[in-house]
Amino acid sequence: MKQNVQELVRQCLKKDPSAWEEFVKRYSALVYWAIERSFRRHRFPFRHEDLEDTFQQVFSHLWERGLKNALVVERLEGWLAIV
């Protein structure tokens, strides 16, 4: 059974590894798509490695300190696409 999004975020903020794994699994495709879309929109010349590096940086930032802001957003998917 899928966890409620807010509860999943709360568990991630407690640094629960299984919650984090679920979060990454659930939102990886969206984050990857948003990064690629942003690169293309700004005509940033990129390689696949650039996408991968940025993807890792986004999730690293979320794990370290950025996810706390997600508790106050109405729609997590929209917020993640902007992040």
pTM of the entire structure? 0.84
Count the neighbouring beta carbons within 10 Å of the beta carbon of residue 34: 19
What are the backbone angles phi and psi of residue 47, rounded to the nearest 5°?
-115, 170
Q: By the 8 A CB rule, do 39 and 51 touch?
A: yes
What's the token pair of residue 33? 């798509």
Residue 3: its pLDDT value, please? 64
Q: Is the pLDDT of residue 1 over 90?
A: no
More confidently predicted of 50 and 3: 50
Q: By the 8 A CB rule, do 80 and 34 touch?
A: yes
Q: By the 8 A CB rule, do 5 and 24 touch?
A: no
Query: What is the mean pLDDT of the segment spanning 17-43?
Result: 95
